[in-house]
Amino acid sequence: MPPRRGLGRGLDALIASTPEPTTTIRTPEPHDDLVPDGTPFEVDIDRIEANPRQPRQVFDEVAMADLADSIRVHGVLQPLLVSPVPNAGGGLPRYQLIAGERRWQASRMIGMVRVPVSVRVTTPQEWLELALVENVQRSDLNALEAAGAYRQLATDFRMTHEAIGKRVGRSRHTITNTLRLLHLPPSVQQDLRDGDLTEGHARALLALPDSIRQREVASRVIREGLNVRQTEALVKRLLGSVAPPPPNPVETHPVAQRIRSVLGDTTTRVDLIQGRRGGKVVIHYEDDSQLERLYGRLASGPDAPSGPPVSVPEPKLFERRVNDPT
């Protein structure tokens, strides 16, 4: 079996100096305003705030209880990574959690008063990257949580799929396919989140042309207990024996990339479908709100200021035909 692909330097690439768990942890004076230098020290747990960009949303209760028991006996062996936050009221400095959400939650569960931390000054983008890399390294994120984090990096920080892949140690192809899971209807996403469907099932459902059939097939897969291979075969039968040629991949066609840039959303799915006598551009959307936002960008241009939604008809996608006589 080939060795599992690593995550490059992972957290070591993002954190200048990560302390070893055996590093001596000092206890500062009550009003010690520590200069962030990576040296671990103890801080009141109530002075730590949650990371608003934490990609992980689901925590296994049994695993959390086990971690809490371990911390009760052995303490927190690896310091939490935190960043200082402005404290308008003065007094003791406060910190925002970057990495170590499970250790922080488990420590609170057992009533710990102080926990070891390592301080680093970061930007909001680094908060998300560090939290994402930590969870990916430990395989703690489900597919939808990872997709949501990738979308944040793409939309909030204008990162390409390739750049995201390099930051988290995944291929561009993996990033793109994971993001596509967000195009599934909410009920199917919930089935995936609940564990009734696997990521493999979800990827097979993406081949279906609309959300109605995706929901119907998802329900059948759960009801009949179909595995991934059986689901793929079912989808293939529903689509017919002769499948249309796949559209040009979004990420590899420069025109599709420029269209997404004009739309102001790098995660919007844009298909360039080539025919023998021209082709068409297909822009996909998830809901009416996104449809109106995309239409406004197309109608007003990329530099138009944001404003109230534009009232438009309700087609399921925009199609702009090129050199198509029909």
Which amino acid, residue 150?
Y
Is 126 catalytic? The answer is no
Reported pTM: 0.50
| CB contact at 8 A, 239 and 207 | yes
Q: Which of 61, 101, 232, 251 is catalytic?
A: 101
What's the chain's average pLDDT? 74
Q: How many domains in the chain?
A: 3
**Between vectors from CA 173 to CA 217 and to CA 58, what angle results, nearest 5°?**
60
Tell which of 173, 207, 242 closes a domain.
242
Label residue 224 by pLDDT band (50, 70, 90): very high
Spatial CA neighbour of 143 closest among 92, 180, 185 = 180
Predicted local confidence at residue 266, as pLDDT:
62
CA dihedral 7, 104, 72, 64 (to 10 degrees): -70
Range of the domain at 36: 11-129
Residue 297 lies in a domain: yes
Host H or E run for residue 172 = helix 172-180
CATH of the domain at 227: 1.10.10.2830
Neighbours of 325 (CB within 10 A): 6
Phi, psi dihedrals of residue 200, rounded to the nearest 5°: -65, -45
DSSP codes joined into one string, 299-324: HH-TTPPP-SPPP----SSEEEEES-
Q: Render pLDDT for 30-66 as a digit per residue (tens, 0 to 9).
A: 444 444 556 888 989 989 988 776 666 666 777 788 8
- Show the tokens assigned to 161: 């799929």
Tell which of 66, 98, 129 closes a domain.
129
Residues 21 and 121 both lie in one domain: yes
Predicted local confidence at residue 179, as pLDDT:
92
Residues 37 and 94 both lie in one domain: yes
* Residue entry with tokens 């599992």: 4
